[in-house]
Structure 1
């Protein structure tokens, strides 16, 4: 089966050893769609893989995670877009399950799947952090159109995995990520999108593997404390100062799983 309404945009950076695995996982989807590579660091590694798998490459001049994601969204004009991270693996039914959710609801804003983590070639058992995230998503699962329930879920942390998200761009016109954030730009995006009328659609199945490794952006953000400061900034959007301080004690501890 094939759809013309969706694009996977692989946000590629430098010479990732995992890029080919990501490409192959997208080519093995039960529903086929357009796949392109977007990069600010064109190089022979990316070009050779694009040629091998007959994929187009679009480039932009400035690097940075927010710039890369915005460039990815701008690189296609399909109704639905998934920003695929170059290190991650998408299980064969990821797109089919996501589109089933999105096409069943004309008010859909985003759909996102559950996920597991992969490290050193091994799919990890659910950490305490991932178990907490699943619990936090329960309000969204049962009340996808409720802004109140979305805010209650997101007020406890970033429980939505960014590479597991598919965007309904027809209902998110002119949406862009906030470049003032470098670690939590996805959480900040859910905060803004959540204010819109429409649905957050949760596919309660682990349909992708988020790779954890030392060179990942998440690991880098934790090491230089960007994530901690941005976590606190996001909590302040939902809670008064006293509760923010309490939440930060638990949230900093959760970073140990990366």
Structure 2
């Protein structure tokens, strides 16, 4: 890749440890129909990441200090923001389909006030097989009002995708640095870090553009951070806290009753 070339968009890969899925992610980024800048950001430098960096030709940027989700994601975002105005924090377990960048840039061309871009996604297991996407179907319902791109700059429209659950898939998001200044993540959550951030961004200037076409795949597997947060009950705790910021206690209890059913999607991976 020509590092001197100007790219409007950057995939900032948040790499941690030695994920067996990282090569698959990097390969999916090489297959984009429109080239983006790609960088690898990590707080756990090792030979594995260095080898993949050399293999794919993507530079590695190392953050000094202990691993932490907020710190690692903010570092990746800031490294990307130094190089491009549109930044996707690519999760190492996921995949991006060839037209992700194409759809993103097309949306940006038509809506330069876009603060957040997101899309529909497929759900895959540890082997790459598509699994039940019922939770994504629910998210699609939550995102219904975002289909009206002409009015997706209104706070009420943006919040409609977030009030009754997080209708926006975190790894599908690209942030416009003009409207989303660093630090991007300003809370201490371990699971709902993106949901709480999107609620804040929904109340600030900028348009949320959602493309209801699967442009990426979100992987669920036994080693995923999501699974750890379910097992230690942190997901339930944090989701309840965010709902309480938006609703009364009785409404929060009702929403949590139905929202916890989505946890079952993580039991479908045969590796668990």
Q: TM-score band, normalised by the shorter chain?
A: over 0.9
Q: Which residue of 2 aligns with 1:89?
A: 95
Find the residue that maps to 1:197 and give its secondary structure: coil
Q: Which residue of 2 aligns with 1:24?
A: 27
Distance 1:60 1:114 in 2: 31
Find the residue that maps to 1:75 and give its secondary structure: helix
- How far does residue 175 in structure 1 lie from its aligned partner after superposition? 4.0
Find the residue that maps to 1:17 and give its secondary structure: coil
- How far does residue 153 in structure 1 lie from its aligned partner after superposition? 2.1
Distance 1:113 1:247 in 2: 24
Find the residue that maps to 1:207 and give its secondary structure: strand
Matched, 1:196 2:200: no
Find the residue that maps to 1:115 and give its secondary structure: strand
Q: Which residue of 2 aligns with 1:240?
A: 248
Q: Which residue of 2 aligns with 1:184?
A: 192
Which runs of structure 2 are paired with 1:45-84 in the superposition (5 Å)?
45-61=48-64, 62-76=66-80, 77=82, 78-84=84-90
Matched, 1:134 2:137: no
Distance 1:148 1:171 in 2: 18
- Cα contact 2:115–2:179 (8 A) shared by 1: yes
* Structure with a larger share of its residues in strand: 1
- How far does residue 247 in structure 1 lie from its aligned partner after superposition? 0.5
- How far does residue 221 in structure 1 lie from its aligned partner after superposition? 0.8
- Cα contact 1:3–1:32 (8 A) shared by 2: no
Q: For the structure 1 residues 169 and 108, does the alpha-carbon distance in structure 2 shift closer, same or farther, using more than 3 Å as the test?
A: same
Find the residue that maps to 1:208 and give its secondary structure: strand
Distance 1:227 1:82 in 2: 23
Find the residue that maps to 2:212 and give its secondary structure: strand
Q: Which moved more, 1:230-239 or 1:2-11?
A: 2-11
Distance 1:20 1:127 in 2: 24
- Cα contact 1:14–1:41 (8 A) shared by 2: yes
Q: Deviations over 1:65-93 (max 9, x none)?
A: 11111000111321010110111110000
| Counterpart selection for 1:118 from 124, 127, 145 | 124
- Scaled by the length of structure 2, the TM-score of the pair is 0.91
For structure 1, the residue ranges without an aligned partner over 5 or more in a row are none
- How far does residue 121 in structure 1 lie from its aligned partner after superposition? 2.2
Distance 1:194 1:160 in 2: 12
- How far does residue 107 in structure 1 lie from its aligned partner after superposition? 1.3
Distance 2:126 2:159 in 1: 35
User: What is the count of residue pairs matched by the alignment?
Assistant: 257
Distance 1:182 1:194 in 2: 20
Find the residue that maps to 2:67 and give its secondary structure: coil
For structure 2, the residue ranges without an aligned partner over 5 or more in a row are 267-272
Q: For the structure 1 residues 176 and 98, does the alpha-carbon distance in structure 2 shift closer, same or farther, using more than 3 Å as the test?
A: same
Kindly report the root-mean-square deviation, in angstroms, between the aligned alpha carbons of the 2 structures: 1.4
Q: Which residue of 1 aligns with 2:270?
A: none
Find the residue that maps to 2:90 and give its secondary structure: strand
Find the residue that maps to 1:111 and give its secondary structure: strand
Matched, 1:225 2:260: no
- Cα contact 1:144–1:201 (8 A) shared by 2: yes
Q: Which residue of 2 aligns with 1:38?
A: 41
Distance 2:256 2:143 in 1: 19
Q: For the structure 1 residues 89 and 108, does the alpha-carbon distance in structure 2 shift closer, same or farther, using more than 3 Å as the test?
A: same
Distance 2:56 2:70 in 1: 26
